[in-house]
Amino acid sequence: MNETLAIDEGLSIVSDAAIGFPAPPNTYRSVAYANTEPGSQKATWLTVRPDGSPVAYAGKVEYGQGIRSGLALEVAEELCVPLETVEVVLSDTDRVPWDMGTFGSQSTSRVGLQLRKAAATARQRLLELAADRLDLPVDQLACREGRVVSQGDGSRSVSYADLLADQRLVHDLDDEAPLHQPGEFTLMGKPAPRIDAVARVTGQAQFSQDIMLPGMLFAAVLRPPTYHAKLLDIDTSIAELLPGVVQVVHDGDLVAMLAETDEQAERALDLVEARWEETPGQPSQWDMPDLLLSSAHDEFVTQEAGSLEDGFRAADSVLETRYYVPFVSNAPMEPRASVAQWEDGRLTVWAGTQRPFGIRAELAQRFEIDEGLVRVIAPEVGGGFGAKSPYRPAHEAAQLAKLAGRPVRVAYSRAEEMAWSTFRPAALIDVKSGFKADGTIVAWESKGYHAGDRPFLGRRGSDTPYAVPNVRVATFTSDSPLRSGSYRSLGGAANHFARESHMDEIAVAVGLDPVELRLRNLTHARFRGVLEAAAQRFGWSAATAPSQRGVGVALGLDVGSYVAMCLQLDIQGTEVTVQRVAAALDCGLTVNPDGAANQVEGSIVMGLGTALYEAIEFQGGRVLNNGFARYRVPRITNAPEIEVALVGDPDTPSTGAGEPGIVPVAAAVANAVFDLTGQRIRELPIQRHLG
Amino acid sequence: MPALEVNGQPREAPDTRRNLLSYLRFDLGLTGTKYGCGEGLCGVCTVLVDGQPLRSCMTTVGAVAGGAITTIEGLATDGELHPVQQAFVDEQAMQCGYCIPGFIMSATALLNREAQPSSAQVREALAEHMCRCGTYQRIQRAVERAAAMASDPA
């Protein structure tokens, strides 16, 4: 069983280990938590240590979204302690409550709320302890800066540390504990610096690429030359002779060189002679649009109302267009890496995954051991954007460490990261609309064909937010020659590109300004709010496109948050430069406005890459541009000036801020390109279609 | 055996052919310098050699023998952040932070040779770095702030 951690003194707030995404109880019931009572299914969410400083536990992973700081802010707010006294323990399966994974912008909305309740419960308990100590009723006491003070007589107070000295209190989380209201906030809702910023500018922040253990071997793993290739035979006899090579592993599908240094392992791998049987006839990038249509199956209707037949009959005009987005790479700056160590039948794996508990379950299954014997630690993660849920190097490192009897490190090269990660699915989307001469949309039919066997990827954001009486939106699952996977907003970006481009095409058809056309069809107050805010910040002036100004607009909804943006661009030859973006986000209560703005800025830059340049090229089961020489991503020279307005109502519960910013970008760019040039581009990336 | 200086300390590397990035990270444990692409295209492995930014992933130890190398761990003095580091904190110029050491090293070299760079000079000096989280606007502001701090040390 797990080691017992020393955080058992002070005041601990415990609650059900699994919240958020519904989890089958058995996934955590079998595992004892190190930070809670043996045999209990409850985990510790928060402990106020005897010195009065809190430590919060969360299964979330820090991969750039600033969640460690956001959660610390929420705890400090509710517990009334200085922000710098809060410690947040993340993503170590031995130390934190079970968690499904860090995706879908759930960290603030669910775990943040849970920790606020835990901190509010602790505050209530501290008030009760102080009432006894000071012999005053609770309603005459208040918490401030780590102390409980009498509201009537400021000289009568007691510190949390004094209240908790020599105590060991465990209290159930009180779902009804009174939370601070927006008007009372002293920390939340105000821009706050990240608590882990200094570690990031000094090189102290430790990523899984940086983990080193005594006696650790470096692995170089043989990868197939093409997808689905089978190893026929292999000669490692020369590789084995190289100095530094400790072991050559050939175990099932896994062939790896284990050496004392990284370069020795890589050199050895270069000397391996392998013969492969490749799988012929794998589709190329050029086959994609046809393949998406011809292989479509499993129609899923995401939105249906009224009668399309009636709607199209009532329309003055009907417009049909087709949009296409290619496969793109998440391309996080940190390629995956993992270190594994076996000690007395217990496995510890460091892996920068978004899903440490999921990887733990996979490893337990692979080695047929109890989950309690596996510890997965996700250190700082150098970006993922959805891709780092699957984590093959964790499996490889664990298997190799077991065979070698020493800790083993498996780290992807850039080429491995780009070829063996997952890709945002290619998608083809047909839109047919019927509208009146005044721009009122009366019929909307959309069919989206998304590559990959996980149909929910394509459904996100496929429904139209416009008030259309007759509507049918369907998505299909289509074959994927590449491994489709998660990406910021999943299919939301593709679906928004299609819908928001088509909205502009309607505006052109009826001779309306694109903001006006949208407002004419929008009744939802929060959508109207972000659109009006973005237009106002941008200084939008009404005109019909193409106005030759190069301005574009689009809006969207993702993870419950509303977003709109206006931008301006210029084109020299085939090079598009987006100069300025004004965005508005409504994610309800914003815990840390600077953190939310940072996420929207980053989402916009990432969206510009997929809009303008990014596409995975592949042929014959091989990615042709698996490096930055041939896969262009935005640089500082391509970055626009971005203004983000956060317009959420603080009384509305928090929704996500990490993903929504990307969904309108590609359409806003395509619309601005049309506005500048009169050329309508319906296929990404846009720059391939210019000139 | 090639002799060099790393963050002010004399070192002897085991092998002239040893990759400089691997040497720093795995032999000296200076893991603040990162691996990103191995092709000199992303900038996360940038260190200073005699004050000049260099892509350590494309360099051997032998090629910098006799040189003075500064890594991100060597910038702060006596626990005090270097002005460029402080400016990155002040502007919250980071998300995951993996690329940030490389940006800071190139920005430091820029400010050493050009105390008051124009916005265009900042962009040019950092054009061969990548931040996939897209914090470029903040990075730009941070470098400009560091330059302003140097000219007006309050």
Mark yes or no for CB contact A333/B99 under 8 Å.
yes
Quote the minimal CA–CA distance from B38 to chain A in Å: 7
Q: Which residues contact A502 (CB under 8 A, 6 or more apart)?
A: A319, A321, A323, A431, A433
Residue A234 host element (H or E): strand A230-235
Tell me: the pLDDT tens digits for A360-410? 999 999 999 998 899 999 999 999 998 999 999 999 999 999 999 999 999
In this prediction, residue A562 has a pLDDT band, given cuts at 50, 70 and 90, of: very high
Residue of B nearest to A610 (CA): B132
Q: How many CA atoms lie within 13 A of A683 on its CB side?
A: 9
Token pair 């909205």: residue: A503
Quote the minimal CA–CA distance from B2 to chain A in Å: 18
CB atoms within 10 A of CB A391: 28
In this prediction, residue A261 has a pLDDT band, given cuts at 50, 70 and 90, of: very high
Mark yes or no for CB contact B127/A635 under 8 Å.
yes
> What's CA A218's distance to the chain center, in Å?
30
* Tokens representing residue A48 in the block: 């106020």
> What's CA A441's distance to the chain center, in Å?
34
Are A506 and A433 in contact by the 8 Å Cβ rule? The answer is yes
Residue of B nearest to A62 (CA): B96
> In this structure, what DSSP letter does residue A683 have?
B
Query: Which residues on chain B are in Cβ contact (under 8 Å) with A642?
Result: 137
Quote the minimal CA–CA distance from B16 to chain A in Å: 13
In a 3-state reduction of DSSP, which class is residue B80? Answer: strand
In a 3-state reduction of DSSP, which class is residue A473? Answer: strand
Average pLDDT over residues B58-85: 96
Strands (E) located in A467-521: 470-478
In this prediction, residue A127 has a pLDDT band, given cuts at 50, 70 and 90, of: very high
CA–CA distance, B75 with B57 (Å, rounded to integer): 20
* Percent of chain A clearing pLDDT 90 (strictly above): 85
Average pLDDT over residues A489-501: 96
DSSP string across B14-72: S-TTSBHHHIIIIIS--TTS--S-SSSSS-TTEEEETTEEEEGGG-BTGGGTT-EEE-G
> Nearest-5° angle of CA A408, CA A413, CA A416?
105
Token pair 């054009």: residue: B127
CA–CA distance, A213 with A409 (Å, rounded to integer): 9
Strands (E) located in A134-226: 141-144, 147-150, 157-159, 168-172, 217-221
Q: What is the ipTM of this complex?
A: 0.97
Indicate the Cα dihedral angle A603, A608, A610, A615, nearest 10°. -140
Query: Which residues on chain B are in Cβ contact (under 8 Å) with A598?
Result: 92, 95, 135, 138
CA–CA distance, B65 with A63 (Å, rounded to integer): 36
DSSP string across A417-429: HHHHS-EEPPEEE
Q: Would the pLDDT of A485 be above 80?
A: yes
CA–CA distance, A482 with A471 (Å, rounded to integer): 32
Are A577 and A638 in contact by the 8 Å Cβ rule? The answer is yes
Residue of A nearest to B71 (CA): A203
Tell me: the pLDDT tens digits for B6-62? 999 999 988 999 999 999 999 999 999 999 999 999 999 999 999 999 999 999 999
> Nearest-5° angle of CA A66, CA A68, CA A71?
105
Picking from B132, B139, B145 by the largest number of A CB atoms within 10 A of its own CB, the best residue to mutate is B132
As a three-state string, the secondary structure of A582-623 is EEEEECCCCCCHHHHHHHHHHHHHHHHHHHHCCCCCEECCEE
Backbone angles phi, psi at A44, to 5 degrees: -80, 125
Token pair 């989280």: residue: B133
In a 3-state reduction of DSSP, which class is residue A119? Answer: helix
Mark yes or no for CB contact B34/A207 under 8 Å.
yes
Mark yes or no for CB contact A64/B18 under 8 Å.
no
Mark yes or no for CB contact A64/B133 under 8 Å.
yes
Tell me: the pLDDT tens digits for A164-182? 998 889 899 999 999 999 9
More confident residue, A430 or A691: A430
Q: Would the pLDDT of A150 be above 80?
A: yes
Q: By CB neighbour count within 10 A (0-12 exposed, 13-18 middle, 19+ buried), where does B78 fall? A: exposed
Residue of B nearest to A658 (CA): B133
Query: Which residues on chain B are in Cβ contact (under 8 Å) with A639?
Result: 134, 136-137, 140
Quote the minimal CA–CA distance from B67 to chain A in Å: 22
Mark yes or no for CB contact B134/A262 under 8 Å.
no
In this prediction, residue A487 has a pLDDT band, given cuts at 50, 70 and 90, of: very high
Query: Which residues on chain A are in Cβ contact (under 8 Å) with B36?
Result: 333-335, 414
Quote the minimal CA–CA distance from B133 to chain A in Å: 5
Cis, bond preceding A685 (omega within 30 deg of 0): yes
Query: Which residues on chain A are in Cβ contact (under 8 Å) with B35?
Result: 209, 335, 411
Q: Which of B29, B42, B133 lies closest to A602 in CB terms?
A: B133
Average pLDDT over residues A288-314: 97
Which of A522, A378, A490, A336 has its CA nearest to residue A425?
Answer: A490
